[in-house]
């Protein structure tokens, strides 16, 4: 498989709900732009018109609205549209693409934490997506703290948060285990404490990677 890094660079942020990954993705994009990089900041599910429509289906409503199998199909459809419309064009232009979540979230949320469907997720990813991020940040945070933060946002997109702290704990453990599978791609960053200090650690790791 050809690396996206042969053109642009694809950087993803992962973590449990409330970990601060969305903030850190935005701060990294701002910092890299300030250092002369052309950056596309995007998110999943979403990042393209079609994918944003699917986002509303999967993040809102009753926690039991969809089965894990249906969720995998919906997330993969959203990711394919995101890939075609946003990620691939930006990489072809030589940009740094920073995405708030990518396929690793589906591996954890649907493939591990809800059901033992990891092989299904990986098979669909290989068939329909075909690329992995060049660098992935795991913003690691205590599940209780993350859930408190996430619920404090009080938005309509709380379907997964409403599954409770036990779900968040399973996801946190699964993210840490997934990062250990391919440590060359992952950078695990402590998400606790001051946002600026976390951002500084993320930026240092990103700059080291981009300089390689």
CATH class of 4-210: alpha beta
Q: What CA–CA distance (Å, rounded) separates 1 from 24?
A: 29
- Determine how many CB atoms are found less than 10 A away from the CB of residue 179: 19
Q: Where are the domains of the chain?
A: 4-210
pTM of the entire structure?
Answer: 0.88
Measured CA to CA in angstroms, residue 21 lies from 66, 81, 141, 192 at distances of 25, 22, 10, 11
Q: What is the pLDDT of residues 135-192, one digit of tens each?
A: 999 999 988 776 676 555 655 445 554 555 688 888 899 999 999 999 999 999 999 8
Q: What CA–CA distance (Å, rounded) separates 25 from 43?
A: 9
């Amino acid at each position: 498989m050809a690396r996206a890094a042969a053109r642009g660079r694809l950087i993803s942020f992962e973590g449990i709900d409330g970990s601060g990954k969305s903030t850190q993705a935005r701060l990294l994009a701002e910092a890299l732009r300030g250092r002369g990089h052309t950056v596309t900041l995007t998110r999943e599910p979403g990042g393209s018109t079609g994918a944003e429509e699917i986002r509303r289906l999967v993040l809102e409503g009753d926690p039991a609205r969809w089965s894990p199998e249906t969720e995998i199909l919906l997330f993969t459809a959203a990711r394919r549209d995101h890939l075609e419309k946003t990620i691939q064009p930006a990489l072809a232009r030589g940009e740094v693409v920073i995405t708030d979540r990518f396929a690793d979230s589906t591996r954890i949320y649907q493939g591990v934490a809800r059901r033992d469907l990891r092989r299904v997720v990986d098979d669909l990813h290989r068939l329909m997506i075909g690329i992995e991020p060049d660098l992935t940040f795991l913003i690691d945070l205590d599940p209780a703290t993350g859930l408190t933060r996430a619920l404090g946002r009080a938005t309509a997109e709380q379907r997964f948060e409403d599954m409770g702290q036990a779900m968040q704990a399973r996801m946190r453990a699964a993210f840490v285990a997934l990062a250990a599978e391919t440590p060359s791609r992952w950078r695990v960053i402590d998400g606790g404490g001051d946002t600026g200090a976390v951002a500084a650690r993320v930026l240092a790791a990103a700059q080291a990677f981009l300089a390689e």
